[in-house]
Amino acid sequence: MSSAVPAGNFKPPVIQASFLSKWYGDVIGLNGMNVIIHEGITGIVGPNGAGKSTFFKLVMGTIKSNAGDLLVFGQRPWGNWRQLSSIGFCPDYEFLPLDMTGNEYLRFLGGLQAMEKNALEKRIAEVAIIVRMKKDMDRKMGGYSKGMKQRLKIAGALLHNPKLLLLDEPLSGLDPISRRDIIELIKSLNRDYGHTVIVSSHVLHEIERMTHSIALIYKGRAVASGVISEIRNLISQHPHNIILEGKNMAELAKALIDRSYTYSVGFNNNRNSITVKVTIPEEFFDSMPELVEMTGARIERMFSQDDNLESVFKYMVGW
Amino acid sequence: MELNKIISPVLSIARYSTRKILFNRRWILSLIIAVLVGSIMGYAATLVDEPLDSGATLLDVLILSFIMPIIAMIYGSSLIRNEIEDRSITQVIIAPLDRRIAYFGYYISLAFALSIIMVLINLIGWLAFYAQRGMDGDSLAILASMCLVSIMGSLAYSALFLASGVFLKKPVYFGLFYAFIWESFIGSIPGAISHFTVRHFVRSVAAGWVNYGSIGTYDGSPVSVSIAVLVGITVAFLVLGAIVFDKSEYP
């Protein structure tokens, strides 16, 4: 079983999933997923449809698994509503009642948590400061920007001061400034307030800005988990596809075949475009200036087919 | 378990949902219906000879037999189902609260809001009619009885239609069938088959309390039996709805 935790962490896991499966009719949401998540910030990374939201819903107990086992703080979540006082959830979809103000909405959530009135008002003021929404709490949410709505959703998840925070795609649809702010907020929630945060995204580099512990999910499976650098090493052991377009590509292709890092070379639709499969991309890129000079090739365009996350996952599952 | 851990979330859901029911755009529909009832009864007041009989008959035909099940269907079948569809139900589902208790919060809000709407419609109809024909003790007794029966009907219909919203993905089709075909059509057929409607028992209670008009002569079931059946329907659908709500998944 893979574990999204740096070596040396011996605390009991926050979440432990063993062969966890969930399907919706013919559609598979999770497929025998194994993962262990410890305290701190953990990124759940995977392309759209990989099963990230399904995993969160299983952790929250809003849906029931079809097979396998899931333990959250050592307990099964389905039907375990008492445990929900330890978990805060910020879903990836919009559901805020737009005719309410931020304060009214948080009072409603506080009521659901059975928070006492004075304590609730104090806590609302606290979380408004944490998510930097203090000035806007008396405004109707219909007038909020996407970033403000995201902050208020996080405030709602934080309100009852849960041990575990689940943030599903919190950066989705945000502008760069809001993304930066939310990333800083998430880091602060763990560093300054001690929350264990599990955050999902389909963008690896965004997660890297928050944490080094990640679990990669693809097609309902955790294909790897651990420290990002280890996973990057795993990825780099697989051949990378690089496309080169320009003039005199035939000469360049011949020269590339002799290189030790080259796995294969092939022409694409015409002789001005080749695909090179390399085992050590760093050496390939380092040697390119020399090869271009040697062969007289004129490269107009060079790009990797594997920069997107989908390719990374294909590597991980051996495609 | 501390009582506050139950009462506070239930009240929170009830307040939130009541606000949604009473202040969303559908209040226009309730207003139109109230104006329609007021207009019909106001106009009828200028035509009839026996105001006590005619007023009671109009309140029975317009409100108890027709408007109440339809308004209950419109509000009840969509209350939870809309939240499931737009996924705003998440905020309730992820609260540390027994879902069966949360369901009860929704029921309270629906029954409360529906009762208010029905009492207001009764009041508007009654004022439009009896303001012209004399508001004496008898007419006030008719109003009080019809309001009380409307509240009892609201409690039963709320349980029925709220449950339909958790049993069915498209409860509005069931609601339309039930309100228009079952309650209105089957409920109008003379004989025992009409007894299989909520309307029959609501009107039976009214028949025991109002001695005027069509409702005064309605050949219904005994009042005590009718009240027991209405309570039974309310409790049965509340319990069934709460169980299904508790066991359902909310993707």
pLDDT at A318: 55
Question: Is A112 in Cβ contact with B97 (below 8 Å)?
Answer: yes
Question: Is B96 in Cβ contact with A113 (below 8 Å)?
Answer: yes
Could you give the ipTM of this predicted complex?
Answer: 0.86
Question: Does residue B224 contact residue B217 with C-beta atoms inside 8 Å?
Answer: no
pLDDT at B213: 86
β-pair type (A15-24, A164-167): unpaired
A199/chain B closest Cα distance in angstroms: 17
Name the pLDDT band for B51 (thresholds 50, 70, 90). confident
At residue B157, the 3 state secondary structure works out as helix
Nearest chain A alpha carbon to B24: A99
Minimum-distance CB partner of A84 among B4, B20, B96: B96
Question: Is B96 in Cβ contact with A97 (below 8 Å)?
Answer: no
pLDDT at A234: 67
Contacts of B249 in chain A (CB under 8 A): 62-64
Question: Does residue A231 contact residue A10 with C-beta atoms inside 8 Å?
Answer: no
pLDDT averaged over every residue in chain B: 91
Question: Is B97 in Cβ contact with A62 (below 8 Å)?
Answer: no
Minimum-distance CB partner of A93 among B8, B12, B87: B87
Of the candidates B10, B11, B97, B2, the residue with the CA atom closest to the CA atom of residue A84: B97
A182/chain B closest Cα distance in angstroms: 21
- pTM beyond 0.90: no
pLDDT at B153: 96
Using CA atoms of B208, B213, B218, B223 in order, give the dihedral in degrees to the nearest 10.
Answer: -10
Chain segment A207-226, per-residue pLDDT in tens = 888 998 989 898 888 888 88
Question: Is A111 in Cβ contact with B8 (below 8 Å)?
Answer: yes
Minimum-distance CB partner of A24 among B15, B92, B251: B251
Mean pLDDT lowest among B139-153, B154-168, B208-222: B208-222
Nearest chain A alpha carbon to B3: A114
Q: Which regions in chain A score pLDDT beneath 50?
A: 7, 319
pLDDT at A319: 47
B152/chain A closest Cα distance in angstroms: 28
pLDDT at A238: 67
**Ranges of H-type helices in chain A:** 52-60, 102-112, 117-130, 146-158, 176-191, 204-208, 228-236, 249-257, 281-295, 309-316
CB proximity A156 to B under 8 Å: yes
Residues of B with CB under 8 A from a CB of A: 2, 4-6, 8-9, 11-13, 15-16, 20, 23, 86-88, 90-99, 249-251
β-pair type (A41-45, A3-4): unpaired
Question: Does residue A25 contact residue B249 with C-beta atoms inside 8 Å?
Answer: no
Task: Considering only residues A11 and B196, tell me which one the structure prediction assigns the higher pLDDT.
Answer: B196
Which one-letter amino acid corresponds to residue B70? I
Cβ within 8 Å of B, A 173-202? none
Of the candidates B82, B196, B210, B84, the residue with the CA atom closest to the CA atom of residue B140: B210
Question: Is A62 in Cβ contact with B90 (below 8 Å)?
Answer: yes
User: What are the CA-CA distances from residue B21 to residues A52, B25, B34, B74 (Å)?
Assistant: 34, 9, 16, 10
Which one-letter amino acid corresponds to residue A188? S
pLDDT at A315: 64
B190 pLDDT higher than 80 = no
CB proximity A89 to B under 8 Å: yes
